[in-house]
Amino acid sequence: MRYVRCYLTREQIDEKRRAMGDTSQAVAQKTVSDEVCLEVDHLRMSFPLYRGLMKRKVGEVHAVQDVSFTVHTGETLGIVGESGCGKSTLAKCIMRALAPAEGKIVYKGTDIARMKEKELKPIRSKITMIFQDPFSSLDPRQTAESIVGEPLKINHLVHSKEEYNARIDELFRLVGLNPAYRTRVPREFSGGQRQRLGIARALASDPDVIICDEPVSALDVSVQAQVINLLEELQAKLHVTYLFIAHDLSVVKHISDRVLVMYLGRVMELANAETLYENPLHPYTKALLSAVPISDPKVEAGRERIKLLGEVPSVLERPKGCPFCERCQYATDRCRTEVPALKDCGNGQSVACFLYE
Ligand code: SF4
């Protein structure tokens, strides 16, 4: 059986609820404010590479190279790329699980890139994460209540047992879980419900930014749309900002306001979601988009697939020039020696490719 993803627009969700006689709560409309919530400026992160018995340093892996972008409050920025492109390292730097080698991470006007652990403490509760795998990211021995309640206790956000219980109930309801399930352990929940627990935990400390690290890729296709729709609903209600990391462009398209495409640690293209899908510029973005399945079999049969040449280069043999030059059908000698800068092409679209100078 072939599943086709079905995402509902906000209007369709409203309509469905009305049809079911649910007049209790209108779905809030998402708003993106002018305020910049997060700014990443020329961020770099590399790891030393050791080999042999003596652990000799043989090189460096440049996981994130010169990455810059801004995200507005209430916005969703999709970050897309193949595995190993640096998106998870970027997320860890923003969470400050890693200290970046260079560059700035400005959260609400303050650079947190070089902050000490003590200074970071109040910020940790404001930038949280939803993990990829709801099966391994939850402690199998903890009850659902203690999983969701942990950030409340760590950050001293509740001051009495009553307040704690009321907040747990509220968080369970927010993510569509029955508060009566609070004493259950993770194995008693389905995959989708476990990810809802993960979402409730990320929401517990009332964050401004949530980094969603491939939050639906470990779920059944039939459940993915429910989780995506829930994330959208929560964003509209709570005005939270998302960085949504994925390798699947069809998921990112639905939820993102803008999309950033990464390859070998660098930004290849950044554009509004609509512009990117209607008019991709970078050869890598075009190739990724040509691999996204389309539900209409006629359109699917008639469209051109762009095959990428070769494989992703090894971490030790990264190209000197454009990171994509070994797989690009338009590569010239210049592409093999010079790194193209990210250039503004107008209409909110920037691309790092010599074809658009
Ligand atoms: Fe291809 Fe050159 Fe553009 Fe890189 S800069 S994507 S190699 S044409």
| Domain contains 192 | no
* Gap between the Cα atoms of 74 and 258, Å rounded: 12
CATH of the domain at 38: 3.40.50.300
Question: pLDDT for 138-149, tens place per residue?
Answer: 899 999 999 999
Q: How much distance in Å is there from the Cα of 125 to the middle of ligand 1?
A: 40
**One-letter-per-residue 3-state SS of 120-142:** HHHHHCCEEEECCCCCCCCCCCC
| Average pLDDT for the chain | 88
Instruction: Determine the atom of ligand 1 nearest the C-alpha atom of 284.
Output: 6
State the pLDDT at residue 266. Answer: 96
Buried b / exposed e along 51-75 (16+ C-beta atoms within 10 A): eeeeeeeeeebbbbbbbbbebbbbb
Question: Edge to edge, what strands does the sheet with 110-111 contain?
Answer: 56-72, 36-51, 102-107, 110-111
Q: In terms of Cα–Cα distance, which of 213, 211, 263, 226 is closest to 63?
A: 263
Q: How many domains does the chain have?
A: 1
Cβ of 324 below 6 Å from ligand 1: yes
Which residue's CA lies nearest to atom 6 of ligand 1?
Answer: 353
Cβ of 322 below 6 Å from ligand 1: yes
Residue 24 pLDDT greater than 50, yes or no: no
Average pLDDT over residues 259-284: 95
| Domain contains 241 | yes
Q: How much distance in Å is there from the Cα of 286 to the middle of ligand 1?
A: 12
- Residue 290 corresponds to which amino acid? S
Average pLDDT over residues 6-31: 53
**CA torsion through residues 286, 89, 258, 66, sign:** negative
282, 285, 330, 345, best to mutate for ligand 1 pocket (most atoms within 8 Å of CB): 330
320, 354, 356, 357, best to mutate for ligand 1 pocket (most atoms within 8 Å of CB): 354
| Domain contains 4 | no
| Domain contains 25 | yes
Average pLDDT over residues 308-321: 82
φ/ψ of 112, rounded to 5, equals -100, 0
Instruction: Determine the atom of ligand 1 nearest the C-alpha atom of 282.
Output: 6
Residue 207 pLDDT greater than 50, yes or no: yes
User: What residues make up the domain containing 270?
Assistant: 10-126+207-356
| Domain contains 144 | no
Q: How much distance in Å is there from the Cα of 44 to the middle of ligand 1?
A: 22
φ/ψ of 74, rounded to 5, equals 85, 0
| Domain contains 32 | yes
| Domain contains 101 | yes
Residue 153 pLDDT greater than 70, yes or no: yes
Cβ of 335 below 6 Å from ligand 1: yes
Tokens standing for 52? Answer: 């042999």
* Gap between the Cα atoms of 58 and 300, Å rounded: 46
Q: pTM of the entire structure?
A: 0.88
State the pLDDT at residue 23. Answer: 46
CA 55 to chain centre: 34
